[in-house]
Structures are given as structure tokens and as C-alpha cells.
Structure 1
Amino acid sequence: MYNIGFNQIVSYGDDGLSFLTSLTNNTRLQFLAIDDNHLEGVIPESIGNLSGVIKKLYMGGNHIYGHIPSSIGHLSSLTLLNVSYNLISGEIPPEIGQLKDLQMLGLAANKMSGHIPNSLGNLRMLNNIDLSGNYFVGNIPSSFPNFQKLLSMDLSNNLLNGSISREIFLSLPSLSTILNLSNNFLSGPLPEEIGLLGNVVTIDLSDNRFSGSIPSSIGKCSSLVGLFMVRNTLSGPLPNALGEMKGLEILDLSSNQLSGSIPDKLKDLRVLRYLNLSFNLLEGVIPNGGIFVKNISSVHLEGNPKLCLHVPCVESAASSHRRKVLVPVTIILGILAVCTMGGCLLYVRKSKARVAATSDLVVKGQHRMVTYEELRGATGNFNQENLIGSGSFGSVYKGCLREGIEVSLKVLDIRKTASLKSFLAECEALRSTRHRNLVKLITSCSSMDFKNMEFLALVYEYLSNGSLEDWIKGKRKNANGDGLNIVDRLNVAIDVACGLDYLHHDCEVAVAHCDLKPSNILLDRDMTAKIGDFGLAKLLIERTGNNDLSSTNVLKGSVGYMPPEYGFGQKPSTAGDAYSFGVVLLELFTGKSPTHENFTGDQNLIRWVQSAFPENIIQVLDSELLHLMQHLPNEGPINIIPEAERNCLISIMEVGISCTCASPDGRIGLRDALRKLETARQTLFKHTHV
């Protein structure tokens, strides 16, 4: 056994995983775990030379990139292969189909693409396959019905298309955990054979293009706890068979074209705790009983104007009752606007990170639903003691959900007209992004508060080490009283550059953050930096030669961090983000914000650093940084620091200066900035023992 998983081990460059080659000499190695570290590099071809008896290989949660080598097929005894949550690209090597004993295959949350190979159908022992969060295209392979022991299948958040063959359901009765096909381009009717999945707990077919009616055979899925078919084009009546699934806890069929009445049997589902039938074409009387009476706050029926509470459904009489179960017209219009914008976005690309954003809270594949009441309880009725920040569009609270999970809750101030726009921008920017250096959006809440006022909120992961601004200003320090040393600051800079590089280059539609500054950069318990607050983010849907946006809106960022061209009405761009990053980088190493009182007249942070670059660079460094480098004297001139550290600092400042060129065309991009910073870090590590 070789287990170094869940540590803070770091490696850099293409050869960062070369140590695996040395393990090929161990002919009895059966278990290898290097997951959840900070390992970077390409999987070496020599991986295929590992022990012939190795059974489990854990490599997930690192920074591994490049392709999976075909030699992986030589590891014939593997029962588990997990390389999820990395940066791996390329296609799935067909040779994986040679791993006849494989029981778990995890390739989730990478950058893999191409068709899913038919050879995977040879893995007849497989009981768990997770290919979610990639860019796979084409049909679900015709060989998948060969899986005779499959318990869980997650193909969500890809670009799969075509219809689902009846053979999939005919041959997979063993499924007992989850079938997740959400966030793809799958189309056509749902086969009647879906009813053969009598053991599965969760089915998620949301965000596809399924059409036709919901098969009545769905009622035979007697073990079903969660059923999600949101945002398709399903039509016809709700089958009465839905009322036969006695264990159903969550049912979400919203945003389809379902018609007819709500089956009265739904009120008899005793464990049903969340029901969303909103934005369909339903009509008639709402059932009186069960969840419709006991837990009305968990029932969502808005967007069905022909529904009413009592017989007869006369329009004049019903209007007064609808207010009790339907949101006001203004709210409906607001939500319709959200749906419209979401539809436009889906036309360009699919939302690829919805399920992943909730996976920390519930069983993977089940969408985490939160209500106003739950968020109110999580924050102690929005107690001021839990207020951790406020901005132009609302307030941020620390909260604790029922599961005991800490979250950050951003509550939008609906009195400000820009808050809804901010809400939409943040949802659009984050719904299709997933990266370790972006703050994770868990879910959102659009509801009514106890005063019957509109309530909008975004729920994020909670990052316990606060903002970068707090560390730069000395409001936060390490347990020993020290601030950030040179390695800490460089790691933060690289983390932020990684996040921006992902937004600019690795999203299907590039995203410009548009408001990067230290207060929007948060640090988790391991001091990993994550970019947050996408309230001004823009999707670069239509690119031109200079990366302009198709939007004609004038952007308003933050003073000092906003590039000069935005002040002249130019559209948001990746070059604008590069400028903001450069300012943040200079501030991080000088300790001076661009709005510092010392900068008056023509003097500013950028010119101040330029005036000292490179010969007198020490003169502009943060005194706290110099102190931690143990080169700050008690009196007299500042000592000369070691050449390796000085050269590293010069390289860092050069990146900051190159990013803040007045002309957008003269700035380096984030990918180049990232490479230069990573090179500086590697050079520093080679010459020091920091």
C-alpha cells in the first residue's frame, strides 16, 4: 500500500508525477492513493508498468493535466480507477475497456472530450461510473446495456445528444443509487421501459430536450426518492402513477409544458417534502391535503395561471385565492426574465456545473433545495452577529444549514434596481463554471419572505480565512502572529491567475469577471485562494479581435482596479480582467491599495512601482513581507536580499507591470501571466528552503 492522499503535497511542471515511475519496481503494490493534494503534471506512460496486482488507484483532486495514457489498460487487476476533479483533457482511451475487473470508474470534473468509447461496455463488473462534468459528445454508447451489475451512472454536465434507447432501461435493472443524465442535449420521448428501474433512488433528467409525455410506468419505480425532470419540453398530463411512489421525497417537474390537473393522489404521498410543478400549463383545483396543506412553503406552483384553490375555478373568484399560492405578477415576470435569459444562455451552451455545485450537501445528483425559512433559520433570523460583509447589491451572512454545513449567504437588496441584474449575472457566470479557484455556488433561493416581499439569495461555500483584503491590511494573521510570506503571496497570486485563466480560456463561453479586487478574493482553511462575487461578470458570447463583449452596457467596476478603457465606455474584456489582476498583484506585494492616500495627482500605484523597477524594487515592498524574509533592519538602509528572492520578486512585479499597461493590446494575458508566476515559484523553490 502507498497512501499519501489528503495531504498538502505539491509538485510542479509536466514531470510533477514522475515519482510514479519509481513505484513500478514494487511488484506487490495493490493500493496507490495520491488524491486530494496539489500535484501537477502529466500522467507518465510508465503508469502501465505498475504492479500487475494493483487493485485501486486514487488520483483525483489534483492539478493533473494532459491525456490519460493508453498504457492504463495494462493494469488488468484494477477494480477502482478515480482521476476525477483534475484538468485532464483528450478522449477516454479505449484501452480502459480492457480492465475486466473494474468496478468503479471516476473521470468526473475534467476537460475530457470526444465520444464515450463503446469499449467501456466490456466492463461487465462495473457498478459505478461517473463521467460527469466533461465535454463528451454523441450518443450514450450502445454497449452500455452490457453493464449487468451497475448501481450508479452519472453522465451529467456533458454535451451528449440523441435519444435514450429502451435497451438502456431494459438491461440496467440493477441500478439502485442514481441515474443522472442532466445538463446534456438529450432529446426524444422517454421510453416506457424507464419503469423497469424499480431499485433506483434518484433519477435526474433535467436540462435536456426530452419531449412527449411522462410514461405512466414511472410509477413502478417504487424505490424512487428523488425525481428531477426540470427544464425539458415534456407535455401531456401528469400521470396518476406519480401518486404510487410512496417513498418519493422530492419531485421537480418545473419548466415544461405539462397540462391538465394535478393528480389528487399526490396529496397522499406522506414523505413528499418538496414539490415543484411551476411554469407549466396546469389547470384546475389544487389538491386539498398532504403537502399542499401541511408544508405549503415547499410547494411551488407559480407560472400556472389556470390553477385555483377551490371549486369552481371561476376567474373572478379565483383571483383572490391565487395570491395564497402564486407569487405576485411582478415576481412571475421577474422569474420569467430569469428563465428567458437562461434559455438564451442554453442556446449558446449548456449549464455544466449545476449538480456538481450541490454535491457537497446531498447525495450526488440530488439538487439541494433551500427555502426562505431555512435560510432564515441558518442565519439566526439574519442576525447582525452573522453579518460578514456588505456590498453594493446586498449583504453577506454566515450560516449553517440543517446538515451542519457552513455556508456564506448573499442576500440581494431588491430595493436596488441593479440587484436583480447582479443576481442574474452571478447565476449565469457560475452555473457553467467549476474550478478549485472559484468560490463554489451551492444553490440559489428565489422566494417570498415573511413580509410577503420578494427574496433573492445566493448560497456559497463558506471560506474560513476571509478575504485577501483582510490579510493585506493585517486584519487577519496566522496563529503565530505572522502575515503572508513570499510563498504565501505567490501561491495566492497563482491561484487567482488559475481561476481567471479558466474563466478566460477553458469555459465554453469565456467569462470576464469585471470586478476583481482583494475583497473579492477569499481564502479557505488551506489558504487556497478563490475568486468570488460575480455580480458584474459578463459572458463573452460574441468575440471580436479585441475580445469585446456583445453587450452594449457600460461597465462599472471598482475604483483603482477598473481598467482605464472602461471609463471611456469600452466593453468588458479579458484584457480588462488582466489589468485588475495586475493591480491586485502589485497591491499584494507592496501592501498599498490603488486608492492609498499617498497616491495623489499623477502618482498612482502602478507608476510608483514602475519608478522603482527593477533596481530599487525592495523600496516598494510591503514591510511585513520584508520582515518575514528576515531582511528588515532595525535602522539604517534596507539590506540587500538574497539574489534568488530578489529575482523572484522582480519577475512577479514585472508581471504586475505587464498586466497594467494602459493599452489593452499591450497587456499580457492571464495564461502568460500564470506561466511566468509559476516559473518564478519553481525558481524560488530551487534556490531556497522556504
Structure 2
Amino acid sequence: MAFILLSRCVAVLVFLLSSQTALPVMKAAALSLYTDKEALLSFKSQVTIDPLNTLSSWSSTSSPCNWTRVSCSQVHQRVTGLDLSGLRLRGSVSPHIGNLSFLRSLHLQQNQFTGVIPDQIGSLSRLSVLNMSHNSISGPIPLNLTKCLNLQILDLMQNEISGAIPEELSSLKSLEILRLGGNNLSGTIPPSLANISSLLTLHLATNNLGGLIPADFGRLKNLKHLALSVNNLTGTVPLSLYNISSLVILAVALNQLQGEIPDDVGDRLPNLLNFNFCFNKFTGSIPRSLHNVTNIQSIRMSYNLLSGYVPSGLGNLPELQTYNIGYNQIKSSGSGDEGLNFLTSLINSSYLYYLAIDGNLLEGPIPESIGNLSSSLRSLYLGGNRIYGRIPASIRYLRSLALLNISYNYVSGEIPPEIGELTNLQELHLAANKMSGRIPNSLGKLQKLNVIDLSANELVGSVPTTFVNFQQLVSIDLSSNRLNGSIPKEVFSLSSLSKILNLSSNQLTERGADQQSITSTGGLRGSIGYIPPAFPANIEQVVDPELLLSIQDSQPDARFTSPEKQRECLVSVLGVGLSCTADSPDQRADMRDSLQKLKTARDTLLKPPLDHRPDLDLEAGIGDSNMTS
């Protein structure tokens, strides 16, 4: 009996002791969760607009573990995750966010937050993911962020963050993804970033960074994505970068980089998918080894000073989607009619959707095999070369084509009516060639057409009545041909026509539209053929014809634009001269304004035309959702 009584006493004592120790733990957990709740309610108070009413469940009467977009740990019942991405929230980020001491992931991307990144985020010692990309955050990168030693992902892309990249970021030894692109960061790239050996992605594109690319980056042996495009970087690409064999994306477009690209770059970077070196000052030839990277998807080297030939091996790239070598000094390796035969090799690239070889010194006819290129091809740039012969009828098989540019060549013959079968075509550029005959009625089938430019050819006949089918047309230029007859009245009624209607320098003598119709196109640039131009069609009648020759002699390395652009330049210069010599001083042009107009005219003459390249942002890596191209 005594034993039983003693056992019961011991049991009661144990219960009382365990209860006394458990109560403080429970109270502490409740108190800590209360701290999390107060932090989140403070965060909510700084949100001024919640269009989807997502935060309506955040109430002082309920547990934050039951709130929308909030995650808690099962053991400690503490807030460990906050995902408010893509909710279009407006406001600022509350400093009380730093009180969420158990927080591991914070996703605030794709909202409209303003203000600065709170210093208090540096108190989140457990934080492994911080994503505040695609907002309007301003101010510098706070140094306190470097106290978040467990950070694996730091994504601040597409904000308005300014100042320098802190060298102290190198203390984040666990960092795998660092994305700071699309901001206003300045200064140089800290070489100390090379100390983060775990880095897989380094994205600094679209900032105002200058100086050299750190050679120390060659030590980042795990790096897969390196995006430095759209900055003010100078010097050469360090040879050490070509030793990072793990690289999948290497993008340095739109900087001021120079030097030659190593011929064995493809052998040293065998895993490349995206190679973007366009808009720089690179010299030398196209690396032959790039055509050996069998899985590569994008090769972009446009707008450089590359010379030589298109190397063999294009047929080795079955995954290729984009190939752009436009605006260099590339010549044809074959002689005569074989100059463009390298295009035939691309038949094996069944995913190819973008092909640009324009603005080079390529010579020869367009091969009949052009029609065998990828059925996915959407953009084909052949302009600004020395291409001659006819446009092959096989062009009809490129049914996905949205843009065709063969302008500024020596293409002759008639416009093939088969182009009318390219029903997805949105832009057609055939300007400044030697094309003759009538404009085919079949072009009227191109109902998705936005832009058509057939100017500066030898086309005859009338404007086809089928042009009235262009319900999406915003620009039409048929100037400087031998067109005659009347203009279809309905052309002036096209509601979409808003940019250019240029039928000047033709023989359109009959008025096909009343004055009211013409007035309705008041937003247009350009002129109608039967309206007398402000200056003679042949500007040489009033300007010394030796003038252009003297300009060319003084700029031996310049690549001049078409005769039409040269005439446009002279008209601008003559206009400035007239405005500066008006009889009344009050009517004379301001000197600063006149100087700017002269500079613009010079640039028009000496620089290649960019207005037919709507994709230039894409080529430079701007506008890409991943900012990696």
C-alpha cells in the first residue's frame, strides 16, 4: 500500500514539474508568433493598393499561419516564407520585415513597390531567398544585406537601384544566383565577386557599369550564366572567361569591348547555348569553333568590325534558333553565284526562327534552296549586301515569315507573286534594288502587313487596287519608282495608316482621292506623288554634286547609306542653311538647334539605317524576360 502511495506521489510530482517547464515554452512560442503577426500587419499597413484584395485575410484576430501567401514551420509555428509575387501591390517595404527572424524566403517580385530596401532585412539571418525583382525600388544596395550569410538567391533585377555594387557581397559564400540587371548601378564590377565560388548565375546587364571585366571571374568554375550586356564596359574579354567550361550563357552585348574572339572559343566552352557579342568593336573573324557547339541555340555577333568569311560547319547546328552576324564586314567565301551557298547549310537547323546577315559585303544570288530553311523562320534579314539576281519563287515556302528584308542590294527582276503566299508577313522591305515590272496584285493577300517599303526601284504601272486589303498597314513607301496612274482612293481611308505614306518621285499625275481623304491622314510623314515637293527631286540641281564625293573622301572608312538617304541629308543641310539666313533676325534658327540638326544629318549619312530593325532591343539583350541574351 505504501509503495502504491509513493508511486502516485512521484507521478504527480513529475506532472507538476513538466507542466511548469512546458508553460513557458508555449508562452514563448505564442509570444514569438505574436511578433511575426505584428511584423506582417506592419508590412500590410505600408501597402497602399492591393488590387486583388489578397491581404484581406491578414487580421489581428487570426493566426498568421492561416493567412494567404504566408508559410509557417510545423515545429516552431513561426513564419518561414512570404510569397507576395505578382499581386500588383503598391506601397513600400516596411522595416518591420526584419522582425521575421525565422524567415527563409521572401518573394516580393512583380509588384509596384517603391522606396528603398530596408536595412533591417540584414537581421534575417536564416534568409536563403530574397527576390524583389520587377518593382520600382530605388536607393543603394544596403550593406546590411551582406549579413544574410545563408542567402542563396539574391534577385533585385528590374528596379531603380543606384550606386555601386558593394564589394562586401563577396561575403555571401552560399550565393548561387546574383541578379542585379536592369537597374541604375554605376562604378566598376567588383573583382571580389569572384570569391563567391558557388555562383551559378551572375546577371549585371543593363546598368551603367564601366571599366574592365574582372579577369578574376575566370575562377568561377561553376558559373553557367554570365550576362554583362548593355553597360559601358571597355577593354577586352579576359581570356580567363573562356576557360569556364560550364558556361551556358555568355552575353556581353552593347558595350565598348574590343579585341578578337578566340578561334577556339567553341572548343573551350562546349556547353554554350547562348553567345551574344553584338554591338561592340570586336575584330578578327567569326570563330569557326562556334559551329562545332552542336547544342548551341543562339549566335549573335552583329554590329561589330568582324571580317573574313562565314566559316563552314553551319550544318552542324541542329538546335540553332538565332544566327545574327549583321552589320560587320563579312565577305563571301565562294566566287560568283556561290557566294551565299552557306545559307543552304542552315537547312539542318529545323528550329531556326531568326536569321540576319545584313549590312555586310556578301555577294551572289539568293539560292533557290532558301525555301528549304526552317518552317519556323520568322525574321530574314539579307539587306545591305551585294546580292544580285532574282528573288527565288521558293521563298513561298517560308510560311511562318513575319519579316523579310532584302533592301539595299542589286536584286533585279520582278517581285515574285509568290511573296503573296507569305500570309504571316508583317514587314516587307525591298527598297533600293533594281527590281522592275509591276507590283503584283498578290501582295494584297498579306492582310497582316504593317510595313511595306518598295522605294528606290524601277517599278512601273499603277498602285494595285488590292492594297486596300491592308487593314493593319501603318507605313507604305513606294517612292522613287516609275509608277503612274491614279492612287486608289481607298488607300487614304486606311484607318491604320499612321506613320508613312510616301508615293513621291513617281509619275502619279491623276488625283485619285479628294482633299478630305488626304486631310484625314494628317498624322502621316512623307508626301504624295502628285503634290509638288518642297525641293527638286534631283537635289543636285541646287547643290554641288561634288559635295558628296568630298564627304566620302574625308570619311574613307564610313559605310554610306542609300542615295535616298544621301539626298535626305543634303535636304536637311540646305534647310538649315535657309533657316540661318532669313532676312529677319527673329526668324533665324537658333544656333544650338541648327548644330543639333546638322549632327543628326551627319549621323543619317554616315551610320547604317536602324529604322528597319525593330528587333534591336532583343539583339542587345534588352526586353528579354530572363535578360540573358
| TM-score, length of structure 1 as denominator length | 0.45
Larger radius of gyration: 2
State TM-score, norm by structure 2.
Answer: 0.49
